[in-house]
Amino acid sequence: MDQLKHISCGIKGLDTILGGIISPSTFLVAGSAGVGKTIMSLQMLSNASKSGEKALYIPITTENPEKLKLYNSTLDFYEDSFEVHSINRQLAEKDPLTTLIEIGNILESIKPDRLVIDPITPLGFGFIEQEKRRFFYTLDSMLQERNMVTFLVGELLKSEIHNSVVSHLSDGIIYLTREDRNTRADHRMEFIKMRGIDPGKRSEITSHKYLYNINSSGFTVYPHLRPETNIKLDDSRIETGIPGLDSMFEGGLFCYNSLLVAGIPGTGKKLFGLQFMLQGLEKNKSSMVVTFEDSPHQMILESKKIGLELEEYVDRGLLHFVCTNPNEMYPAEHATNIKEVIEKNNIKRVFFDGINHMEIAIPDKLELRGYLYSITSYLKSKNITSLFTTDTAPSECPGNEKIDVASIMDSVLILHNSKAKDRRYMCVTKSRGTKHLRSIKEYAITESGIKLRTDTLI
């Protein structure tokens, strides 16, 4: 046999996770009804045939082939470019030997590079286990004779996989599940068995579940966000855009820093973030805003009211938005969207407005910290300066606020409204790798933005 080679599986995100699949190989794609086994398989076949491979789909079904074709034609990615040969499901259940001969004949005449049998589990249904095994071993030797990638779809729950002979014949087992969560179904993919993958990736792949999504444009799996490897941190300083603030950090933030700006509502956190971003935009640095409550349009309008003109930067392709309803947010999907915008537009500054809204999507504090950690480490590895804002509970004195996510940020700045004195104060409570002023400074929100008041230091 030729040496093993890695090829694209044709499913968005899956190649990034697995680093491609081995050809030849056989995968069991298992899960209950409606989890997307067929859509995933069809997408693989469509993309394989688009890139010149011979692809064959064998549905084992009682459906009329015309009806199947009609269903599939609602999928945008679907192209009628691969071969379809249906086999009657009752025949497969009652007469597995004839079915195997039929499959053999189809394979012989088409000679596919990719094959999907959907589903394989009806083969010999009702026969005793020992006989069923024989049918599957025969099928296996038929598949082994050919140099192809095969997806055998299994109508199996996780607990049934290990008892199924197909699982032993497969090089990889992909299990799909669906759970209802919030207003959307939560689809997750896991790899129960995976032969031939990079040993460095094995434990990560087999110990994690990956979110996937199905829509008419196809089946997308979301890889976890990982920092870039071979990082070289850029320790030049950047200006924050807030007059007077840079001197609190020995001359500005490091290029790769994350800054958390925390305070009760009304302290000017959003304005702070916008000013920071605008400073970069004025120097033609591509920037991205990640919001959870405002639409880009709303943010542009509100910024205009306080004298910050963002529209021209959108028009010039310098300012980008990732806007997500936290009720419908899935962390891995969110992270993938962020990564795509960053990489496509060479983003240098990121403003995450109101990360407290993420608690709706990720109520578990540890999980939320983990998600934010993956984001900040990724941004750092790309030398992107990031500013996050979050709401805090009121405190008597600036600096006493309890902030869960403070530990994962490089620097933390607190904004504080003093009701008694009707004044605003800020202080830096943390700054990694650089000295910072420990004193509390007064600031004002003026028509030209946030400014530190040098005249009234306390």
Ligand X SMILES: Nc1ncnc2c1ncn2[C@@H]1O[C@H](COP(=O)(O)OP(=O)(O)OP(=O)(O)O)[C@@H](O)[C@H]1O
| Contact positions vs ligand X (CB under 6 A) | 31, 33-39, 74-75, 155, 214-216
Map residues 32-71 to x or -, x wherever contact with Mg ion holds by CB under 5 A.
------x---------------------------------
355's contact among ligand X, Mg ion, none, with CB below 5 to 8 A by partner kind, is: none
Q: Which residues pair with 424 in a beta bridge?
A: 417, 443
CB-based closest residue to Mg ion? 38
Give the nearer residue to ligand X in terms of CB position, either 214 or 308: 214
Q: How far is CA 419 from the centre of its chain?
A: 42
List, in order, residues 6 or more apart from 319 with CB less than 8 Å away. 277, 281, 286, 287, 288, 289, 310, 313
Q: How far is the CB of 91 from ligand X (least distance, A)?
A: 18
Going by C-alpha positions, the residue among 255, 263, 266, 276 that lies closest to residue 352 is: 276
Going by C-alpha positions, the residue among 31, 35, 34, 53 that lies closest to residue 44 is: 53
Give the nearer residue to Mg ion in terms of CB position, either 153 or 245: 153
For residues 123 and 136, give the distance between their C-alpha atoms in angstroms, rounded to a whole number.
8
242's contact among ligand X, Mg ion, none, with CB below 5 to 8 A by partner kind, is: none
Q: How far is the CB of 35 from Mg ion (least distance, A)?
A: 9
Q: How far is the CB of 36 from ligand X (least distance, A)?
A: 4
For residues 185 and 213, give the distance between their C-alpha atoms in angstroms, rounded to a whole number.
9
155's contact among Mg ion, ligand X, none, with CB below 5 to 8 A by partner kind, is: ligand X
Give the nearer residue to ligand X in terms of CB position, either 119 or 273: 119
Give the nearer residue to ligand X in terms of CB position, either 175 or 256: 175
User: Is residue 95 within a helix (H) or strand (E), and if so which, with residue range?
Assistant: none
For residues 383 and 231, give the distance between their C-alpha atoms in angstroms, rounded to a whole number.
9
Question: How many residues of this chain bind Mg ion (CB under 5 A)?
Answer: 1
For residues 156 and 388, give the distance between their C-alpha atoms in angstroms, rounded to a whole number.
44
Give the nearer residue to Mg ion in terms of CB position, either 38 or 374: 38
Give the nearer residue to ligand X in terms of CB position, either 74 or 130: 74
74's contact among Mg ion, ligand X, none, with CB below 5 to 8 A by partner kind, is: ligand X
Region at 108 (left for phi over 0; alpha for psi -120 to 50; beta for the rest): alpha
Q: How far is the CB of 10 from Mg ion (least distance, A)?
A: 18
**Could you say whether residue 386 binds Mg ion (CB under 5 A)?**
no
Binding region for Mg ion (CB under 5 A) out of 31-39, 123-131, 227-235, 377-385: 31-39
List, in order, residues 6 or more apart from 282 with CB less than 8 Å away. none
List, in order, residues 6 or more apart from 414 with CB less than 8 Å away. 262, 263, 392, 398, 399, 401, 426, 427, 428, 429
Give the nearer residue to Mg ion in terms of CB position, either 38 or 429: 38
Q: How far is CA 435 from the centre of its chain?
A: 36
214's contact among ligand X, Mg ion, none, with CB below 5 to 8 A by partner kind, is: ligand X
Q: How far is the CB of 195 from Mg ion (least distance, A)?
A: 25
Q: Using DSSP, state whether 294 is helix, strand or coil.
A: coil
Look up residue 328 and give its DSSP letter. G
The radius of gyration computed from the CA coordinates of the chain, to the nearest angstrom, equals 28
99's contact among ligand X, Mg ion, none, with CB below 5 to 8 A by partner kind, is: none
Q: How far is the CB of 338 from ligand X (least distance, A)?
A: 23
Going by C-alpha positions, the residue among 223, 218, 226 that lies closest to residue 10 is: 218
Q: How far is the CB of 118 from Mg ion (least distance, A)?
A: 6
Q: How far is the CB of 119 from ligand X (least distance, A)?
A: 7
Give the nearer residue to Mg ion in terms of CB position, either 38 or 291: 38
User: Is residue 316 within a helix (H) or strand (E), and if so which, with residue range?
Assistant: none
Q: How far is the CB of 31 from ligand X (least distance, A)?
A: 6
Give the nearer residue to Mg ion in terms of CB position, either 38 or 167: 38
Map tokens 């298992």 to a residue.
30
**Positions in the binding site for Mg ion (CB under 5 A):** 38
